[in-house]
Structure 1
C-alpha cells in the first residue's frame, strides 16, 4: 500500500471531530492524520478516501474542491450496530496530470481489494470510474459495473476521456474485462437514440428513472451481481441538493439513492463503491449530508451481508423449473434469505465467456413471469451476451 499517494485529513475536520459525542462515527473510525500518520489497515473492512480530481469535467474552468464539509457531516452521524472496522485514508490529491491521478487511484484500489478491504471513493468527476475499473485488470477476468446515473456516459471512445464519455473507453480499451454494464435511473431526454440503441445492441441493462421510482426493489438483483458501483450525484433531483450541485428538477430522491446504496452494500460481490460529481458550494449542508447518508447506508448494507450462495449444499436452496416456449428455465431460491437466482446454461458450441453454468441474480417476479410464459429480460440479455 503506497501511503505517499495520500494527504491526511485536515486539522480543521479533526478539531471539529473532537467536539462530537463519544458515540459519533468520527470517534469510532481510524483516521489518517498529520499527527498519527497513516492508519494500520489490519482488520479494516472499509476504507473511505477522497480523490480531488475534476479536470476531465466537460465544464471544467479551473476550480478546485475539498471534502471537509462531507467529512464533518459523515463523522457526526451515529453508527448502527456494526461490526466492520472503517478507516478514512485522507485524500488522493490531483497529480501532475490526470493520468497520474488515475494511476494513484488504480494502484490504491487494486491494493485494497487484494487485502479484502472495500474501497469507498468520494470523487470529483465520474471518469475516475475508469481508473477504478482498470484496478481489476489483474484481479478478476470479468467485471460487472453498475452506474447510478441520469446518462449512459458512453460518448465517443476515439476522443479524450471526459466525465460524460468514460464508459466508451471501458468498453473498447484493452484488456476487455467488462462483462455487464447497467445504468440505473437514466432519463431518456438526456440520452441520444444512438446511445440507447448501442446499450440494447450490446445487451447492457438500463433502468429508467420512472421504473426505479415505481419499484425500487428491481435494483436489488442488479446490485447483487455488481463488482463495482459508481454513483453520479447528477442522478439526484435538484431539490435534494445544495445550490451548485443542482442539475435537474427530475431525478432520484434521497430515500431512493440511500436504498440503492444499501442494496450495493448487502451484495456479496460489490468490492468497490464510489460517489462522484461532488461540487462544493457555500450552502453545502444538503449535499454533504446526502453523501454522508449514502455512505452510511452502504456501510449498513455491508454489515448485513449474508453468504447465501453455496449451491453445492442441497439443503441451502429450493429449486424451481419453468418451461418458457422451448426453454427450460431453472430458478434457485435461498432458504436463508429468500433471494432468487436463475441459471444461464452453458453453450458448448460457442466460445463461452463464463465457461460454466452461471447463476444470475433475479427476483421472485421473474419466476412468476416465467410461469406465465414470459422470458425474464435480465436472463435474455445475459444469455445473448454469453452467446456472442
Structure 2
C-alpha cells in the first residue's frame, strides 16, 4: 500500500504539539501516530515531510521546527480537514525516494486530497511531476525560484538540474513550465533563450516585485507549484548559511503562496531547499498557512463552466478577433486560445487561458498578449 512509505511523527513532537491550546491549528489537524493513520476519505489537505537532501548537499533534514511553528499558529475561519501524514525517509537510492513520493502523492491526488510536501532538496519536484503519470493529463508546473534549474544534459539529477529531466524524460506530460522570480545573473543566456524557444513563461524578480498581481494568472493555470526557499532574500528568511542578498521578501512569498492556494487548479504544493534553521521555519510555516488560507477562498471557476456568469469581450485585430471573458464573481480574466485536436491541425477548438486585465488593455491597443501568443504556438507544435 502506498501509505506504507510514510512513518509516523515522533512521539516527543506529538506531545509538544498537543500541549498547545484548543484554539491553535494543532487541534484542527489529525496526526499520523504509531497508533493511528488518518482516514484519507475524511481529509482535504495532507502535509508530508520528505527527509531527502541528496539532490543538494546530503545534509540532514529536520522538519520538527516547521511543524512546531505551523501548528502553533491560529487557523482562519477554515472548514477543510487537515492531516499530517508524517515523513518519507530517504531510500537506498534517490530513485527509491522518488518512487515512494510519487506513489504517495498520486494516491492523494486521486482521492481529491491536496498534498503539501516539505523537503528536502528541490529535485523532489521531479517526483511530484511523475505523480501525474497515472492521471493521464498534461501538467503545468510553476516554480518560484531564482534559477531555472536546467543543468547540463549529462548531469545526474539534482536540485539545480531537475527541470531538464522533467522536460526530456518519457512519458512527457509537461504542457507548460513557468518560473516566477528568476534572477538574470543566476541563469546563462543560453538557458534564458531556451525558455523562449520552448514558449515557457519566465518572470524576473523585479517584474514580480514591481507588480505581484501579474503572477496570479500563472498560478491559476498551474497543477504543481514548487517553491525554492533560496528565492527569498536572507534578511527575510533567516537563511545565512546560503546567503541571498536579493529575492522576495516575507510578505511577497506569502502572497505568492496564497495565489497558489486560491487557484482552483493547483493540486500539489512543494516547499524545498530548507536549511533546517528555526528562523527559516517561521517563514515556511507562514507560507503554508497562506496556501491553506487560499484554498478556503477558492471560487470554483475552473474548469470553465456556464458562460452566464461571465462578460464576453471581443477585441478585433486585422487577421482575427481575440475573445476575453471576465468573471462577474471575482473579476478575474480569461483569454480564448484556439488549439488543434489532431496531428494534421484540422480540427480546431477553443480553450481558455487565465490572463490579467492588463492583457485585455494591451489587446485593446492592438498588442498581442505574450501568454496568448506562446500558448497558441504550443497548440500548433
How many Å apart are 1:4 and its aligned residue?
A: 1.9
Partner of 2:170: 174
Partner of 2:40: 41
How many Å apart are 1:98 and its aligned residue?
A: 0.8
Aligned length: 381
Instruction: Work out whether residues 338 and 348 of structure 2, in 8 Å CA contact, stay in contact via their aligned partners in 1.
Output: no
Structure-2 separation of matches of 1:233 and 1:153: 14
How many Å apart are 1:356 and its aligned residue?
A: 3.3
Structure-2 separation of matches of 1:240 and 1:256: 10
Partner of 1:307: 300
Partner of 2:7: 7
How many Å apart are 1:349 and its aligned residue?
A: 8.2
Cα gap change, 1:328 to 1:143, in 2 (>3 Å): same
Instruction: Work out whether residues 224 and 269 of structure 1, in 8 Å CA contact, stay in contact via their aligned partners in 2.
Output: yes
TM-score by length of 2: 0.96
- Which one of 350, 367, 383 corresponds to residue 360 of structure 2? 367
Partner of 2:54: 55
Partner of 2:136: 140
Partner of 1:387: 380
How many Å apart are 1:270 and its aligned residue?
A: 0.4
Structure-2 separation of matches of 1:186 and 1:221: 17
SS at match of 1:54: coil
1:128 is the counterpart of 2:124: yes
Structure-2 separation of matches of 1:241 and 1:354: 50
Partner of 1:214: 210
- Which one of 200, 204, 214 corresponds to residue 200 of structure 2? 204
Cα gap change, 1:353 to 1:241, in 2 (>3 Å): farther
How many Å apart are 1:308 and its aligned residue?
A: 2.3
Instruction: Work out whether residues 324 and 371 of structure 1, in 8 Å CA contact, stay in contact via their aligned partners in 2.
Output: no
Structure-2 separation of matches of 1:294 and 1:99: 28
Partner of 2:315: 322
Range with bigger deviation, 327-336 or 307-316: 307-316
Structure-1 separation of matches of 2:50 and 2:74: 24
Cα gap change, 1:197 to 1:67, in 2 (>3 Å): same
Partner of 2:19: 19
Cα gap change, 1:310 to 1:116, in 2 (>3 Å): closer
Partner of 1:189: 185
Instruction: Work out whether residues 237 and 250 of structure 2, in 8 Å CA contact, stay in contact via their aligned partners in 1.
Output: no
How many Å apart are 1:158 and its aligned residue?
A: 3.2
Structure-1 separation of matches of 2:370 and 2:300: 26
Instruction: Work out whether residues 203 and 384 of structure 1, in 8 Å CA contact, stay in contact via their aligned partners in 2.
Output: yes
How many Å apart are 1:354 and its aligned residue?
A: 10
Structure-2 separation of matches of 1:42 and 1:288: 30
Partner of 1:31: 31
- Which one of 274, 286, 298 corresponds to residue 279 of structure 2? 286
Structure-1 separation of matches of 2:9 and 2:303: 41
Instruction: Work out whether residues 354 and 386 of structure 1, in 8 Å CA contact, stay in contact via their aligned partners in 2.
Output: no
Structure-1 separation of matches of 2:346 and 2:136: 13
Structure-2 separation of matches of 1:245 and 1:227: 31
Partner of 1:65: 61
How many Å apart are 1:355 and its aligned residue?
A: 6.8
Runs of 4+ displaced beyond 6 Å: none
How many Å apart are 1:117 and its aligned residue?
A: 0.3
Q: Which runs of 5+ in 2 are unaligned?
A: none
SS at match of 1:295: helix
Deviation per CA, 1:105-137, whole angstroms, max 9, x where unpaired? 000010000000011100110000001100101
TM-score by length of 1: 0.95
Q: Which runs of 5+ in 1 are unaligned?
A: none
How many Å apart are 1:63 and its aligned residue?
A: 2.4
Instruction: Work out whether residues 176 and 200 of structure 2, in 8 Å CA contact, stay in contact via their aligned partners in 1.
Output: yes
How many Å apart are 1:338 and its aligned residue?
A: 1.0
1:256 is the counterpart of 2:252: yes
Instruction: Work out whether residues 3 and 38 of structure 1, in 8 Å CA contact, stay in contact via their aligned partners in 2.
Output: no
Instruction: Work out whether residues 341 and 349 of structure 2, in 8 Å CA contact, stay in contact via their aligned partners in 1.
Output: no
